[in-house]
Amino acid sequence: MFFILFACALLRPAQALAADKPVAWKPIQQALLRVDDQPVKNWNVYLENKKGDPLLLQMGNRFLLIQVHERRIFELAPARIEHKGPELLWDPANLPAEPLATSNWIIRDVGFAYRIDVRLAAENHVVDLQLPHPMDLRYL
């Protein structure tokens, strides 16, 4: 019993150190974005893990962290995001305290893509993001 408690005590500082490291975000290919039913010229969407949540949306110099399951969006400071080739690095410890005001969330499967629609309440803009499903080649 003592050994288990000792091992847990040793692992906690290691986990805390790992949490302070920047996370690599990889771009998602073939995603579609429209804001107020208009295409956006300079944008990209990034994924931290294969589960699709959270997402990091870049529109010009603006970065939005989208927590899909919690239905929250945070605006991130561009100075805290580092470009490393096609990837972005961002430290989750820099998450703002308050999310942006949002409404009218619609998250659904539309066949070959997942669709996320949300209204940014303060700006009165509707963001429509479509993310492709991973290809399932088991049945070919």
pLDDT tens per residue, range 97-120: 999 999 999 999 888 889 999 999
Q: What is the pLDDT of residue 138?
A: 56
pLDDT surpasses 70 at 53: yes
- Which residue in this structure is represented by tokens 């088991």? 138
State the pTM of this model: 0.80
**What single DSSP character describes residue 51?**
T
Q: What is the pLDDT of residue 80?
A: 94
Distance CA 140, CA 121 (A): 44
* CA dist list (Å): 11 to 5, 6, 24: 10, 9, 23
pLDDT tens per residue, range 6-50: 444 444 444 444 456 889 999 998 999 999 999 999 999 999 876
Q: How would residue 1 be classed by pLDDT, with cut points 50, 70 and 90?
A: very low
Q: What is the pLDDT of residue 136?
A: 56
SS3 29: coil
Residue 115 token pair = 């669709």
- Report percent pLDDT > 90 for the chain: 67
For range 61-70, the mean pLDDT: 95
Strand order in the sheet with 62-67: 72-76, 62-67, 55-59, 43-47, 23-27, 87-90, 81-84
Domain locations in the chain?
Answer: 21-132
| Closest of 16, 6, 72, 83 to residue 44, by C-alpha | 83
Q: What is the pLDDT of residue 137?
A: 52
Q: What is the pLDDT of residue 12?
A: 45
Residue 28 token pair = 């998602």
| Closest of 113, 111, 112 to residue 128, by C-alpha | 113
pLDDT surpasses 60 at 78: yes
Distance CA 110, CA 104 (A): 17
Residue 108 token pair = 């659904």
Are 92 and 25 in contact, with CB atoms under 8 Å apart? Answer: no
